[in-house]
Structure 1
Amino acid sequence: MDADPGEVTRVFVLPEAAGAGLGRRLLEIGISQARLGHSGPIRLEATINPVGFYQKCGFRSISRGLFSHGLGGDPIEIVHMELK
């Protein structure tokens, strides 16, 4: 988990830990950190798979885009999301 003011930048859980509440707890910590010194909505960019998880945690989709990591390969579809 990592966050900057106004943005949760990373939340990763190993597949074997999925479903145990760890992802939600990490996201809660990330949201708290992203709120430090920031009064607007909290944003994140999600790949397609975890969108439902973020929606259950109160985020809403605001747009879609593509992410290219600069290492070659096809761009990855992402969803821009925010929590008010």
Structure 2
Amino acid sequence: LSNVAAVLAAAGADKNDVRMCRVYTPGVENWDVIDEQYALFFGAHKPARVVVPTTALHFGCLVEIEAVAKIKEKK
């Protein structure tokens, strides 16, 4: 999620601009920790979320997150 925050910041956005996330994980046994960290990161903001069980992720990662955000127009 720190990577999500960094990409959002580089685009001039923040976590409140996220509209939807796809969360990929190779094992549902990881869901409690993922859910806890996701809730801590987003707080009261509740973007739509899809959880996708997968086979092994690249480099043995336990979670991969794809986020879609609405970027504010620059004036």
How would you bin the TM-score normalised by the shorter chain?
Answer: 0.3 to 0.5
- The normalised TM-score by structure 2 is 0.34
Q: Which has the higher contact order (CA 8 A, sep 6+)?
A: 2
- The normalised TM-score by structure 1 is 0.32
Q: Please identify which structure carries the higher strand content.
A: 1
Q: Please identify which structure carries the higher helix content.
A: 2
